[in-house]
Structure 1
């Protein structure tokens, strides 16, 4: 008999003695499963098996395969038929019940097209009347991803910077760099991203200081499959390629755009060069996923960040001169920040950075009054729709700043700031006060004046 999580010890013992009193000893059985891990690759099928001991027919029993809770099974069989009402949504249409040997207590469940989400523990449970028994199985799902691609980003102050990328791995793989002598080299940074299917993208950066004598290798290894893939790059050869003599140029000043408007990010090669056969990508913090990827004359949508899908388009037709412009529609606050424009040819990248400043000019301030005791009065000024965080001031009729009583700034689901600030008025000589909210990027402010005369 098996105790389930959440049962108290006393409750479990009471249940145990109740079952002993209400069943015949001959009805006892246990469930066994393979002692080994079940290993399958992403996209392949897996077979989970379990059986009753001693052998006996399970035709009249209830059988469930589940992960966390029996109430939401991967598969359920009862009264000689499949029960689909409670089945986990992600397994509908992907599992097959194999009961050829059910008369001897042997059952199997086939899971088709295994995904990273299928990785983990499963339970096989038999129930007859009030008696049940179960066993667990461990399904290991592994994905052998792409071979690593090594790119060179030209020279940096301390040497040559290499970036290696690979995708489609599961679970998170082991990675390392090796030099010509086979020694492992510590990377400058490593970054892992899981895509919507649960597969890992890996990005590793290395700075090589002895650049003119080195050939570097990058190894990516799956400990579950005991398989690896590797790539190598000869740095002296790459430094002599055509692109190494080119530069990528971008705007010298930040690009300013208002929330909801369109903006353009332009970069170009200097001297002019045909970029038709080059890979060009705009990225944020990492190369994958990209803001936009242009390769072999086409947009590669599968590598694009979800938040830019349907909002970006390449508008420049001067690619034969090495000039490309990316337009971003309906700019959001989340678009604010730094971008990189990268040109690649023969494994060598050159890049430039672009700084996008997003600004939102909010609503005109609204001032409301709250009367306090002893002649004191509290004024509350509020406004919505500001970005970035605005500057707030109270001023008297002569334009002098009045110290505020409190200030509260919050961001809504779109990243826009809501401002609420209050002022405590004790001086009866003050006739008018002004609430001013300004956006330093736009150099604009909005004000509202409140008259205290007559109060």
Structure 2
């Protein structure tokens, strides 16, 4: 997804680099970081560097004298020139956009597009936002004493750190605990729990924005009726995808 505004960085020469300041991509996909010369001119004989901020001497892609030089091992085989749009003419029309393959969470951050010629140079930044949508929330329900119920919610595979919200009968509830864990994959796991009464109807939602929310909910009163007579303590695990409810009930001996 490309931002609708553009950044223009003017130099003292007639070489002007233009970029789209912000680009968002889903983890695992390919992405184009748009960069082009304005006004349009042939870039085949120019020097083009794409590098992470403050790493000019270690570009992830370096093009000079019609030859590619890759400096950072993490990007070898993962970068090339790309087209900023379907109508682009590529290098000979001044399009020096970067194509990055198989994006990871480590790729998130600011990149700089730098172009130079014998007449001068110019550069402009592009901020790459990487997202990953995690698993549906997993609810665990454990009945305790004094009519109290421990309800926990867990979801993993998010990037960046998601927002977890609890509600009871559509009223926001503050959890007793909210913990985030960074996984070796670069993704994030979130876990939370709270104590409620046995008549509650808790809902746990996890997401990066209002448009990317996954939710799990359960009616504790309805679940308790499923308990066998004489059983005071039991655990119920619930996985809910949007409005689809799947119950896995396990009863333990009191």
TM-score by length of 2: 0.76
Provide runs of 4+ in structure 1 moved above 2 Å: 346-349, 370-375
1:11-410 map, 5 Å: 244-252=13-21, 254-285=22-53, 286-301=55-70, 303=71, 305-316=72-83, 318-346=90-118, 348-397=120-169, 399-410=170-181
Match of 1:418 in 2: 189
Gaps of 5+ in 2: 1-8, 84-88, 225-254
| Aligned-partner Cα distance in 1 for 2:10–2:95 | 20
Match of 1:429 in 2: 199
SS at match of 2:74: helix
Offset of 1:389 from its aligned partner?
A: 0.7
SS at match of 2:92: helix
Gaps of 5+ in 1: 1-152, 156-238
Kept in 1, the 8 Å contact 2:15–2:120? The answer is no
Which of the pair is proportionally richer in helix? Answer: 1
Cα deviation, 1:136-184, whole Å, max 9, x if unaligned, reads: xxxxxxxxxxxxxxxxx986xxxxxxxxxxxxxxxxxxxxxxxxxxxxx
Offset of 1:347 from its aligned partner?
A: 7.7
1:347 and 1:247, CA in 2 relative to 1: closer, same or farther beyond 3 A?
A: closer
Cα deviation, 1:386-429, whole Å, max 9, x if unaligned, reads: 011101001123x221111101101112211001111211x343
Kept in 2, the 8 Å contact 1:154–1:348? The answer is no
Cα deviation, 1:332-363, whole Å, max 9, x if unaligned, reads: 11111111100011383201111111111100
Larger radius of gyration: 1
Kept in 2, the 8 Å contact 1:332–1:414? The answer is no
**Alignment RMSD:** 2.0
Number of matched residues? 209
